[in-house]
Structure 1
Amino acid sequence: MEQKETLEAVETKEVTAESVDFQFETVLNEIYQDFKIMDEHVDAGLDARLKELLTHTENELTSEEYMKLMYMEGLKYEQQENKNAARFCAMRMLKIKECYENPKKKRPRFLDMIPYTIPEEMLEFIERYTDFLEDTYNFIGKRLLLITAGLVVIILLIFILVLKLNFLMSLINAALIGLLNYILQKRRLPDMFQKNQTAAIEYYVEDDVLEFDRPVRYS
């Protein structure tokens, strides 16, 4: 008898969990469809429904659900003329987009990266707020090249004056060390800059959005 009651309790719990998931997905898609056809995204009722979804932390989110939520928050910030907050959302979406483009890129543990084709309107939103990144990377890359050249000169002098190596051997070793450093730093450049940029503008973002994003951002 007790075993039967236990089994019934487990089954009830599973059904309830499935209902919560189904309700969350349904509400999210309903709000997302509303956002796509609405011209005005700053609405108290809609914002309350969004906040309720943002606090849904009972189960792992899919990458599609994450993208939809950040996109809608970004559109809301955009209409509020809070460009820094909108850029924050766009840059967080960009990280997920890069995961789809590069299978070797580290994926957030909190997200279930399901097969998903990012809609054109999302891509346009991301581009609108992250189009400055390419020029920034090029500028920093040039500065990094100059720093690397200076590093090579310093290493060359150390090899010649301190270690007393011949010039050719010193030049080859210094160049190899400088090249290796340049490649490693340039590879890390996009992630480092995006991390610093999002940290600098997170103060313009609402706390509930930051809390929603925290497990994804730091996983």
Structure 2
Amino acid sequence: MTEYDVVRVFCAPNGGYGNELGVVREGSVMPERSERQAFAAKLGFSETVFVDDPERGIIDIYTPTLRLPFAGHPCVGTAWLLDVPELVTQAGLVGARLDGEFSWIEARAEWVPERTLRRYGSAAEVDALEVPPPGEWIYAWAWEDEAAGRVRARAFPGRDDGIAEDEATGAAALLLTDQLGRALNITQGKGSQILTAPQPMGWVEVGGRVFLER
């Protein structure tokens, strides 16, 4: 059996919640894309990362059904696990840093695969949503406290791969931050926390707590 780590990314202040991520540190044991895709499907996490060079931070990201050029929670979790200053993804170079209890990455909105950002009138409306049928990738959100930048969100990938709702999605949070042009404190899913902040020249920082599960 191929060895892999499991981390939870964007955890709540008490260490709960967060989105599980599988990380295969020795990506060389599974070099073919078809092998990696099959293994990601077998694990069943929303994303699985294969590390091709741990020192340079070269990574390859997969959902259970497709390869991604960039994804938020895989980059945050892998940067924390490898303790590197940057990651090399198919989309581009992702900056990384640790700041106390938070692990941060810096990336660009144009790297994010297509998402529909759907605003609702209240957090209660977001909480009451039923999971939509497979189709478009929907990030449902509402202000909890607009003045404070506090957002309630849920993510529905719209894929028929067993992931009906994503607990915490850094890429969608990045896209929303870029659209709104302000720092956000997002509560997503059942209780995960995502922090964001726009940066100069079109960059956005996304951060959260990461815990090693096994």
Smaller-chain TM-score range?
A: under 0.3
Question: TM-score under structure 1 normalisation?
Answer: 0.26
Question: TM-score under structure 2 normalisation?
Answer: 0.26
* Higher strand content, 1 or 2: 2
* Higher helix content, 1 or 2: 1
Q: Which protein shows a greater Rg?
A: 1
